Amino acid sequence: MEATAPASKEASVEQHAFRIDVCGQQYSLPSDQPNPAVLDSQLRQLMLPSSPALCGMAVDVGPLVADAVEAHVESVMASARRRSVAGRRRSMRKRASLMTTAAMAERQRLAESLVELCDPAQTADSPLTTICDVFALLAAELRDALRDTAESSTAAVVRQIGRVFGAAAAETSKRRSSADAVVEFVAVPQRLDADSDSGADAPAAPDAHSDIGAADALVGLYTTRADAAQPFSTGLAEYLIAGMNRHARDRPNVRHAWALVLTPGAARWCLMESDAIHVTAETNLNTRDGRRALVETFVSLALCESWRLGADPSMRWRPDIGRWAVECPTDACDPLADCTGRQHRRRSARLAPLPLTLYVQPTPLFVADSFFGRFTRCFVAARTPTGECDLVLKDSWQLVPDKEHPDDEIAVLDRIRERMDAAQSTAVYPRLLCGGTVRVASTRDTSLLVLDDVDAYTRWTVPHGYRKPTRAPDSGDDDGGSQKQQQATEEPRLRRVHRRMASGPIGTPLQALTSEHEVVSVLADAMRSHAEILRHAQILHRDISLNNVMAGMWALDRL
């Protein structure tokens, strides 16, 4: 009995919600796991729309779609009854036309895929077709349910942002093989109005990411491996991390993402953010309640706002010019440049400064190897839609204390610019145009905005260079001084903050130089600039590397 008890306990825990710590390349479960029931409830709350009206619509429409899907599934399971003569006569009397008959037959075929997905003997040979059929069934029933609620005042709003998901193969996947028994897929959102059943007069879907991909897509994987969906193994983390890295690399406007993990007869939803992967409890698809939970979650995600699914609303793809329109904060900005945010802040310091819109090339200069962590990306940008790209836009998620905000790169560059301008220095350095914290719906974009209450469970690491404040105990009151010192030396509460800045000019990497004379001249100019910054601004860089020393075009022209 003593030998089998731990195994039984582990098997029962594996059905619950859990969190995977991804910080520091440690794909493991920390010992301080949150309460599984509370974590699962909070994750499912995050899958509901943010708007109260849309959330109410999801609660109302979800059961209707679930009932329709369950009716098809029960009909497939009762195939012997359906083949009876009496059943055929009743069915024929119910169908009004050949079109209706074809549509019902198609729904039955799609429902067979859902039943097949629940089969414990399902293999990884052709799961992608099965998954695509399941998404097609859910999308078709959702369209019908929303048409039935067309008279509702909320329906017009729903159809403006409502979406259906269509699964497709992850073409960039390198793990999609029969040997791994894992198939990666992505559920790409499509607007409801773009469906052919909506009529010829329906407006075309605004495909804002037609060339780059949708940031509000669902990352997914199907596996028959027993360890890949278990929390106490690295299988699930490895595949999710690899899939998330590919998803974010091709989509510049990704803040976080939702994933669906399917195994024969079971499903889990995952929230992937900068430092952890939060996984819901296992849903048993062989039960009626489990299938209803899957359908209702699909409806909730279909009615969610795009930023709720992980898309950055401050980045919009402009197909007419082939660039991204990116809002850069103006918390700190160049007073000599035309930054409307600075003027707005002077008029009313209580209001958030207006962002400055820059136009970014789709191909990045630099993308971090992994989404998890800072996920730094750099792009070339222009001040006007068709202007010359003479700026570098840097976007990253920085880990900072919750209450204290130490000087980051934006604050340092702002101080350097002010003091170098005051000294009328001619040194060349990255001149900050504007920068600050990205805002979503006038709210600072932090991990709390993404995770809500789940943010309390994420175990953060102390950022590089951060030193905890220390205070000597008060000699007059030993007990009070000890208590103050204990509070001062406690680990800080850390949070990811979405920071973005634009600076210029654009430099050329040292690796692109063609002669030793060019390299020596550029390094000499860099040394002079660093000396000027140290003399006038009392700031020393202290991180000299190949990536941090760039050659300006003006320097190359002098050679």
- Tens of pLDDT along 275-311? 889 999 999 999 999 999 999 999 999 999 889 999 9
Q: pLDDT band at 488, cuts 50/70/90?
A: very low
Instruction: Determine, yes or no, domain membership for 258.
Output: yes
Model pLDDT, residue 233: 66
Domain boundary among 467, 482, 506: 506
Model pLDDT, residue 138: 93
152 versus 131: the higher-pLDDT residue is 131
Same domain, 265 and 362: no
Instruction: Determine, yes or no, domain membership for 492.
Output: yes
Same domain, 413 and 545: no
Q: What is the pLDDT of residues 407-436, one digit of tens each?
A: 788 989 999 899 988 888 888 888 899 999
**pLDDT exceeds 90 at position 502:** yes
Domain boundary among 309, 328, 346: 309
**pLDDT exceeds 60 at position 340:** no
104 versus 277: the higher-pLDDT residue is 277
- Which of 187, 186, 281, 183 lies closest to 224 in space, CA to CA? 183
Mean model confidence pLDDT for the chain: 77
Same domain, 410 and 514: no
Q: pLDDT band at 470, cuts 50/70/90?
A: low
The share of the chain scoring above pLDDT 70, in percent, equals: 72
**pLDDT exceeds 80 at position 54:** yes
Same domain, 150 and 249: yes
Same domain, 402 and 517: no
Instruction: Determine, yes or no, domain membership for 551.
Output: yes
Domain boundary among 279, 309, 339: 309
Instruction: Determine, yes or no, domain membership for 544.
Output: yes
119-133, 183-197, 530-544: segment of lowest average pLDDT: 183-197
Beta bridge partners of 394: 378, 501
Same domain, 286 and 339: no
Same domain, 250 and 199: yes
Same domain, 411 and 547: no
Model pLDDT, residue 89: 45
**pLDDT exceeds 50 at position 198:** no
Angular region, 452: left φ>0, alpha ψ -120 to 50, beta rest: left
**pLDDT exceeds 80 at position 399:** yes
Same domain, 114 and 161: yes
Find which of 134-148, 229-243, 537-551 is predicted with most confidence, using mean pLDDT: 134-148
Model pLDDT, residue 376: 93
Instruction: Determine, yes or no, domain membership for 45.
Output: yes
Chain-centre distance of CA 359, in angstroms?
22
CA distances from 368 to 277, 364, 373, 410, 540 (A): 18, 11, 9, 19, 25
Length of the chain: 559
214 versus 153: the higher-pLDDT residue is 214
Model pLDDT, residue 495: 83
**pLDDT exceeds 50 at position 208:** no
Model pLDDT, residue 95: 40
Same domain, 300 and 386: no
Domain span including residue 558: 508-559
Instruction: Determine, yes or no, domain membership for 553.
Output: yes
Q: How far apart are CA 380 and CA 367, in angstroms?
A: 12
218-227, 330-339, 454-463: segment of lowest average pLDDT: 454-463
Q: What is the mean pLDDT of residues 104-129?
A: 84
Q: pLDDT band at 9, cuts 50/70/90?
A: very low
CA atoms lying within 13 Å on the CB side of residue 287 = 8
Find which of 190-199, 362-371, 510-519 is predicted with most confidence, using mean pLDDT: 362-371
Same domain, 121 and 170: yes
Instruction: Determine, yes or no, domain membership for 502.
Output: yes
Model pLDDT, residue 380: 93
Q: How many domains does the chain have?
A: 3
Beta bridge partners of 440: 443
Instruction: Determine, yes or no, domain membership for 9.
Output: no
Angular region, 465: left φ>0, alpha ψ -120 to 50, beta rest: left
Task: Indicate the pTM of the whole model.
Answer: 0.82
Same domain, 458 and 324: yes
